[in-house]
Structure 1
Amino acid sequence: MTIFCSKKLPKIKSVGDVFKEVRKKNNLTLFQASHLSHIPKKHLISLEKNQFQKLPSAKAHCIAYVRRYAKILKLDEKIITDEFIRQTDLNNYQPIHPHSGLKIRPLNSIILWTKRLAIGALSIVFFSYIGWQINGIMRPPTLIIFTPNEGYVTKQLSATIQGQTDAEISLTINGQKIRVNDKGQFEVEISLSKGVNTITISATKKHGKTSTLTRHVVATPTNNQVSYGSQQPN
């Protein structure tokens, strides 16, 4: 009768263990090995720790790193590369992009995030437009007087009022309504009385917001001119 004795089989070393062991025997630090092989230190660490999923996603990159590292450690490149391919099963492992350090996300997840970003952008545009419309309604209308300037002195008993406001605005000068063109521009001549004349220009929106400006014009007619007093604009 044959008696079989159990025998403990030696543990098969991984590619990473071989790299680490040989590097240390050659008294090389990871920094020195990275400098000699031109392989980033973080990828050498991943190789030695058998964390192959952290290597670049392209198979060519992985194999190139393994061959280059084997070469500077004076190992058989073909044997090491074949063993690396066998141990890692390159066709099935999930890689991490070398630059981003993030796992590649499924296409559905990318589409979902794209939709969310698009909805967020549209929401921002929509609420910005609503805010702009509300601000336009709530703020008083624009009102600019080009002539006359405040304190204007004239020898005539009339003055021309020129200015700019918003379109579709109700404009009055000293209480009398004045026509405004489709660009918000207006021009009207009013009569003056001798001395200081107060001219009040008001622009009112449909919703009641009003802007008012006042000009004081001094009329100093010659003695032969007749003052008819302050008259309403035509």
Structure 2
Amino acid sequence: MFRGFIRKKVGSYTLGEQLKKFRSDGRITLHEVSRETRIPVKYLEMIEEGKYESLPPDVYVRGFLRSYAEFLGVESKKLISLYARERDIKMNLNGGGKPAAPPKAKYVPRFVVTPKIITAAVIALVVLGGFFYLYKEIGRFAAVPRLVLTQPGSNEASVEGNLITLVGFTDEDAKLTINDQPVVVSDSGEFKEDIFLRRGLNTITINSVNRFGKTATQIINVKSDYQNPEMAVSGKNESGSGGEVSGEQNSKRESGVKVAVRIDSLPTWLSVESDGNLVYSGTMLPGAIQEFKAGSELCLTSGKANQAFIRVNGKAEKILADTPGIVRDIVFTPND
């Protein structure tokens, strides 16, 4: 044989020919291989065409071949071994065995990112973030919380019924009260509360207190033209005698359970469930009266039990409970 040449058996396949045959057998395109292996199409074409001198450094090509072999389901060692042999042949053929010309020096930018530069940048970002946080906290300490009422749109309002809905937003970490009753604020600072009114002029005071003790206040006046239902009823029949209602009168009574609630002298939070469904959760102002109905069961929870007076199924008015605090899940049925 001639120096620098290696005899190849007739009918043997080069690396590129083998890869093309595998792809052809599987009806796979280079773009499909590139998508699955993340190897650029141009490098796949260079490998199959045997243009090894245009490929990246050897360590990357070996990685390409491992990924390619894994995708095709063949043994990667044979492909890498074949690549190394063909690469050596091409190097020997380059200039009749003369060493290849040294690669051109790559351009090295003047500014190089080093670990020291990265560490300094991270420290600078942390310091700047700390200063920004302190600046923000000092500003919040000096300022009152935001308190914006979007509904109603003004501090003077008039309604025909006995219910008004307050909607607005404040600082997400602020404590909100409406007429000294706590109100839940969402993570974004939004709040919504239904307020039962008494007939005439109602004054509603909204306070928002942030964690630094700063307070923002809004006061709105709401006029209600609602006609309060009568609460007090006699425990006697028309003849003046006490005792149970007659059978005829009892048959005329509506089915289900009805509870009328009247608030005495202090604003009171109330929650009402009708047959297992929440129908009201909000604050009732002093003097406000509201009737609730249910088919089989009415459940009341009050923030100030001794401020809530109730009338159950048309009977005489009574206090919900003697305690000044919270009472929960007081149940009323048609038999009460």
Please classify the TM superposition score into its range, dividing by the shorter chain length.
Answer: 0.3 to 0.5
TM-score (norm 1): 0.43
Name the structure where strand makes up a greater proportion of residues: 2
